[in-house]
Amino acid sequence: MTHPLRELTVDRLRVQIFPDRAALGEAAGTAAAGEIARVLQEKGSARVILASAPSQNELLTTLTESAIDWSRVTLFHMDEYVGVDAQSPASFRRYQAEHVLSRIKPATFHGIAGEASDTESECARYKRLLNESPIDVVCLGIGENGHLAFVDPPFADFNDPLMVKIVELDEMCRHQQVHDGCFPNLDAVPSRAITLTLPALLRGKALFCAVPGPRKAQAVQDTLHGPMSPVCPATILRTHPNATLYLDKDSASLLRA
């Protein structure tokens, strides 16, 4: 496995910079797999939250190819578009089916039903599932606008009392979905989603954050060197006691030496 070109710590957040996204994804996936294996040995079961985005492809490939007893792992994901069913090409449940569930057989995968007729009840249902037991591992990314999951700057709350909620997606977030190739144009991107909140994500005991590519460079700069503020939701990662941010040269290009 490729060693990082550079390592640093910002507040409590560990940062590793790799030469390219393949090496980044391999390192993040290997570390996450190691933590899941450790938890399984210690507790006998594990609960894991996974992000759904092209930026996570390499991490998830490495993770799902790892020698883990997935039959003892319960999986969650982070968000889903309101009004989108699991078979839609843009659905995050479909992403998980293609990139994760086609490769492994976990104990359970809990999906967010974006097509639910009562979205508030769906939020409550997912909250109950998340609260059944602690979350051991979270694999996540950072959006071009600094969001985590679909917690965009206009709706970010570091002390959100909710675990799961309905949000409006800001324009930069919706443009990112076009950049990622998930939609042909901005008009096709849904405007609302069900998402885990920042406190829900940070309840994970170990966080592995994979952020490749030049489009993420400004968000990475803001995350690590901007003021800790909901204006850049990802800055909250700097408070977590066990989080690592994995970058490549492109996403780290604006960082000062």
Per-residue model confidence as pLDDT tens digits over 231-246: 999 999 999 999 999 9
Tell me if 18 sits within 8 A of 5, measured CB to CB: yes
pLDDT at 172: 66
Please name the residues in contact with 34: beta carbons below 8 A apart, sequence gap of 6 or more.
none
Half-sphere exposure of 115 (CA within 13 A, CB side): 9
The three-class DSSP label of residue 139 is strand
115-171 pLDDT tens trace = 999 999 999 999 999 999 999 999 999 999 999 999 989 779 999 999 999 998 877
Ordered DSSP codes for 151-192: B-GGG--TT-S-SEEEEEPPHHHHHHHHHTTSSSSGGGS-SE
Task: Name residues whose C-beta falls within 8 Å of residue 255's C-beta, 6 or more positions apart in sequence.
Answer: 17, 220, 221, 224, 225
Instruction: For the chain, 257 residues long, give each residue's pLDDT as a single digit of tens.
Output: 789 999 999 999 999 999 999 999 999 999 999 999 999 999 999 999 999 999 999 999 999 999 999 999 999 999 999 998 999 888 999 999 999 999 999 999 999 999 999 999 999 999 999 999 999 999 999 999 999 999 989 779 999 999 999 998 877 667 777 777 777 777 777 778 999 999 999 999 999 999 999 999 999 999 999 999 999 999 999 999 999 999 999 999 999 86
Strands (E) across the chain are located at 6-10, 13-18, 46-50, 73-77, 79-81, 108-110, 137-140, 164-168, 192-196, 206-211, 243-248
What's residue 245's pLDDT? 98
Q: 10 Å Cβ neighbour count for 184?
A: 9
Q: Which residue has the tokens 């560990």?
A: 14
- Per-residue confidence (pLDDT) for residue 173, from 0 to 100: 65
**Both tokens assigned to 100:** 């994760």
Secondary structure of residue 80 in the 3-state scheme? strand
Distance separating alpha carbons of residues 234 and 224, to the nearest angstrom: 9
Which neighbouring-strand residues pair with 80? 194
- Report yes or no on whether pTM surpasses 0.75: yes
Longest dimension (CA), the chain: 51
C-alpha 242/C-alpha 14 separation (Å) is 8
Number of H helices, E strands in the chain: 7, 11
Tell me phi and psi for residue 9, to 5 degrees: -130, 130
Domains for the chain: give ranges and CATH numbers: 8-248 (3.40.50.1360)
* pLDDT for res 95: 96
